[in-house]
Amino acid sequence: MNKPIFFDVAFSYTDVQEHILEIKNRLKIEYQDVNCAVVDVLRATTTIISSLHNKCSEIYPVISKNAAKLKAKELMGENIKKQILLAGEKDGKALEGFDLGNSPSNFDREIVENNILIISTSNGTKAIDAVKQQKYVILFSLANLSATASSIIKPIMKNHNLLIICSGRNGKYCEEDSIASGLLINKITSLWNEKEFICSDSAKASIHIANFYKKDIHKAFLNCSWGKHLIQLGLKEDLEFCSRTDWSDVVPKLKDGKIIAS
């Protein structure tokens, strides 16, 4: 008899280790065999997808402005011939002295194509860092929802699990990432025929909120707390960009600290 797939959602990067251990013990698998999908729909994972969609060579996520500068220095010491771009934000505001902020529409092909990107954000890159030891880590947002669902089926069928990591805000729950998580679970399960699956309570909650908002995601983003914060910073257009669904087939994959298009 085939094992059912277990879906779980961590509502913040601060909760990741607890969730991984719970899945490990529940399924009696190795720690590194917990499959992870990271989302920061407003805006880090959308920005990363936008960059790779526009042919960025590779992306290094880091957890601070200083770490970004150190990574750039390290790469320059390796005589990298490609241009190195620094991008990121803190509390939604672009980091001073960096080439780019975190507005995904700004990562145009003429800027990022064949170049290396180093990015640091308030929550998204911390969520990515929290799962860097896992064997299988992908990034998603609404931009690549269908592509993610299609590409992820084979890995999760192998180990019978998927942990979705919401980046959250400063270690706390944020609504928009939970919506995206529920939409992804719905998308994955819609591709199966009579395949059994089990959802944790947090996964069920994400599905419920996704179903509630699915007819007007943009409105949901406008009304969530982080969305309102971005509007106050003059970044309302980012909410519209991030609410667009399935415009990219790129599924970013994290391996050895580097994100590439898989």
Q: Map out the domains of the chain with their CATH numbers.
A: 5-42+126-261 (3.90.1560.10), 45-124 (no CATH)
Q: How far apart are alpha carbons 176 and 54 in whole angstroms? A: 24
The rounded radius of gyration (Å) of the Cα atoms in the chain is 17
* pTM (whole model) above 0.95: yes
Return the pLDDT at 79. 67
Return the pLDDT at 80. 73
pLDDT tens figures, 183-236 = 999 999 999 876 789 999 999 999 999 999 999 999 999 999 999 999 999 999
pLDDT tens figures, 250-262 = 999 999 999 999 8
Return the pLDDT at 90. 96
Tell me how long the chain is.
262
Return the pLDDT at 192. 83
Return the pLDDT at 233. 98
Contact 40, 127 (CB under 8 A): yes
Return the pLDDT at 194. 62
Closest CA to 21 of 12, 30, 82: 30
Q: In the predicted model, what is the mean pLDDT of the chain?
A: 96
Given a cut of 80, whether residue 2 has pLDDT beyond it is: no
Return the pLDDT at 3. 86
Return the pLDDT at 248. 98
Percent of the chain with pLDDT over 70: 99
User: How many angstroms separate the Cα of 48 from the Cα of each of 27, 88, 192, 203?
Assistant: 31, 11, 28, 24
pLDDT tens figures, 131-168 = 999 999 999 999 999 999 999 999 999 999 999 999 99
pLDDT tens figures, 27-80 = 999 999 999 999 999 999 999 999 999 999 999 999 999 999 999 999 988 867
Six token digits for residue 193: 């025929």
Which string of DSSP letters, residue by residue, matches 92-144? TEEPTT-SB-S-GGG--HHHHBT-EEEEE-SSHHHHHHHTTTSS-EEEE-GGG
